Chain A
Amino acid sequence: MKIIVPVKRVVDYNVKVRVKSDGSGIETAGVKMSMNPFDEIAVEEAVRLKEKGVATEIIAVSMGVAQCAETIRTALAMGADRGILVESDADLQPLAVAKLLKAIVDQEQPQLVILGKQAIDDDMSATGQMLAALLGWAQGTFASKINIEGDTATVTREVDGGLETVDLKLPAIVTTDLRLNEPRYASLPNIMKARKKPIANMKPADLGVDVTPRLTVIKVSEPPKRKAGQKVGSVAELVSKLRTEAKVI
């Protein structure tokens, strides 16, 4: 069974993001970039499925600027077998990414696509669902457990108020939640081996996909600063302030 894992290059989770002075987006020049943490979980799950003998090949796919190749290398160092880079300088929005992924899925014919449930840069949480819709495949989103038996994937989903277990008929889409696994650290020999694994390079046009943005960002701004708290002298004062100032009771 072949698995495709899309991996996104995002601002590293340790970096404190800064809004550009013109409000058009966030500052990415000279900022450390890494693989989206949810995608790391997706790669880890695919590698575990391969180690269990369920999967035979893992393909890591990334889309965007040329440096996304390094994000693919990270996936290869964790255990993916080969990479596909769809190179584009355009602002790739979820629908465009989902369409590009569909084209790759049509070529590669995997039984499973494991994606991060969302990317930590724009928190859209859209690509996995859109891809499932475009392909007409079953989807198990926000997975905290995946078990594959024959042509069925049993996925435990983290939903509001508890856990939901669904059976998906393969081929299927799974998106990963935080508790699915803890991604491994790449060992030095695997980093070295990864540098010799192949990465195919293509452009959106090669896949016949129009990636023109459909959404326009109007403005990006810093969240409002939190105001300092107040100390109150008595319960009566607290109740009065909650009533007159905070207006919550």
Chain B
Amino acid sequence: MDFGLTDAQQQIRDEVLRLCARFDDTYWLERDNTATFPHAFFDAMAAGSWLGIAMPEEYGGAGLGITEAAIMAQAVAESGAAMSGASAIHINIFGLNPVVVYGTEAQKRRMLPPLIEGTDKSCFGVTEPNAGLNTTEITTRADLHGDHYLINGTKIWTSTAQVANKILLLTRTTPLDKVKRKSQGMTLFYTDLDKTHAEVRLIHKMGRHAVDSNMVFFENMRVPVEDRIGEEGEGFRALLHGLNPERVLIAAEAVGIGRAALAKAARYAKERVVFGRPIGQNQGIQHPLAKNWAELEAANLLMLKAAWLYDTGRECGAEANAAKYLAGEAGYHAAERAVLTHGGMGYAQEYHVERLFRESMLPRLAPISSELILSYLAERVLDLPKSY
């Protein structure tokens, strides 16, 4: 058993941190305050070919595993970019895995290189106002008309749709009441997000303002048959492939946010002098921060284990979910404690911990809530009866 990063993994972490150092706290605060997409950061990551880290080499990727992708995503978040940085590149890293697994050779040649090079930006259209974790209840329809489908329906929480030109879209081609199993009858597309037939409406939210979240209303959006990924009706299976890696990446990012917040808290605790001594000399300040460190490192270990299981072709559902849960909580607690450690100053934007705190809420909620992870673990690992 070896718990260390390999030299190559360490180099990936170092180089990403070095690149991210160009985009400091002020850069991210400004993106957040002005709600503008971090194009310069995105372009720098694309120029270094980082976006294709986990994509196959024959299409311009580096062919590395989820472990390396997680190390990269974590370095991005840890640099202070938090979810604003991580979410900006998230879908490029692994979002198109269904295309890699189920796409035809022609589709892969057409779809993967522009996403890896960063010339295409994609978003993810899965969740609907009335279908969250109960994905099978989606109602967005795709109706076949000869050589194309027409899409009608509504998606929600579609991140980056304001800047994206592509969408990975899950639809129903057979209504729920006409299929034998609920997971059947759904079809996946990777296609142009045609904004003349898709209205993208911004959702105002708590944090990560740099990366937009939206509702998308489709009205007769035309999608050529060539943009269908896999067989008609098999879309859900194609999508499932990417769920565990996504949990791993989010876990890695949550730990990154926590580390960024903790570093700021520790520095402030050492510098801030009250009653003639640094506040960090008080155990009331020290112990919570030490606890945050322990929680973050524990979550990180499970995240790396889940990544290792996935990369070595083993089942990783329990570990990936548990890592996402632990990391989400640990990141949030560290960010909260960082604000508290700063006292009143923690509430001021210029100390940057309030921004991290707002963003640390995200990995607790997305892509699955802590509560549903616990239900999953109770059911699948502990073999308890299904509660919902």
Chain A residue numbers with a CB within 8 Å of B19 are: 185
Assembled-state Cα–Cα distance A70/B11 (Å): 8
Please, which residue of chain A has its CB at the minimum distance from the CB of B48?
A187
Known: A188-B50, A189-B49, A189-B62. Is A77-B7 also a contact (CB below 8 A)?
Answer: no
Q: B residues engaging A (CB < 8 A)?
A: 7-8, 10-12, 14-15, 18-19, 44, 47-50, 52-53, 62, 64
Q: How far is the CB of A12 from chain B (nearest CB, A)?
A: 9
Q: Which residue of B lies closest to A192 (CB)?
A: B62
How far, in whole Å, are A195 and B18 apart by their CA atoms in the complex? 19
CA distance A188 to B18 in the complex (A): 13
- Bound-complex Cα distance A191 to B19 (A): 14
**Within the assembled complex, what's the spacing in Å between the Cα atoms of A70 and B15?**
13
- Shortest Cβ gap from A111 to chain B (Å): 30
Interface residues of A in 167-188 (CB under 8 A from B): 185-188
Residues of A within 8 A of B47 (CB): 187
Whether B7 contacts A188 by the Cβ 8 Å rule is: no
Q: A188-B48, A188-B52, A189-B62 are in contact. List 7 more A-B contacts (CB 8 A).
A: A34-B14, A77-B11, A187-B47, A187-B50, A188-B15, A188-B53, A192-B64
Residues of B near A74 (CB, < 8 A) are 11
A82 within 8 A of B: no
B85 to chain A, nearest CB (A): 15
> Which residues from 182 to 215 on chain A have a C-beta closer than 8 Å to any C-beta of chain B?
185-189, 191-192, 195
Chain A 69-108 interface 0/1 with B at a Cβ cutoff of 8 Å (1 = within):
0100110010000000000000000000000000000000
The answer to whether A185 and B11 touch across the interface, beta carbons within 8 angstroms, is: no
- Distance between Cα atoms of A130 and B62 in the complex (Å): 42
A77 CA / B11 CA spacing, docked (Å): 10
Residues of B within 8 A of A70 (CB): 7, 10-11
- In the complex formed, the residue of A with least CB distance to B6 is A195
Chain B residues with CB under 8 A of A195: 8
Are B11 and A187 closer than 8 Å at their CB atoms? no
CA of A189 to CA of B46, assembled, Å: 12
How far apart are A77's CB and chain B's nearest CB, in angstroms?
7
Chain A: CB-nearest residue to B47: A187
Please name 17 pairs of A and B residues whose Cβ atoms are closer than 8 Å in the assembled complex, sorted by A: A34-B14, A70-B10, A70-B11, A185-B15, A185-B18, A185-B19, A186-B15, A187-B47, A187-B48, A187-B49, A187-B50, A188-B48, A188-B50, A189-B62, A191-B8, A191-B15, A192-B62
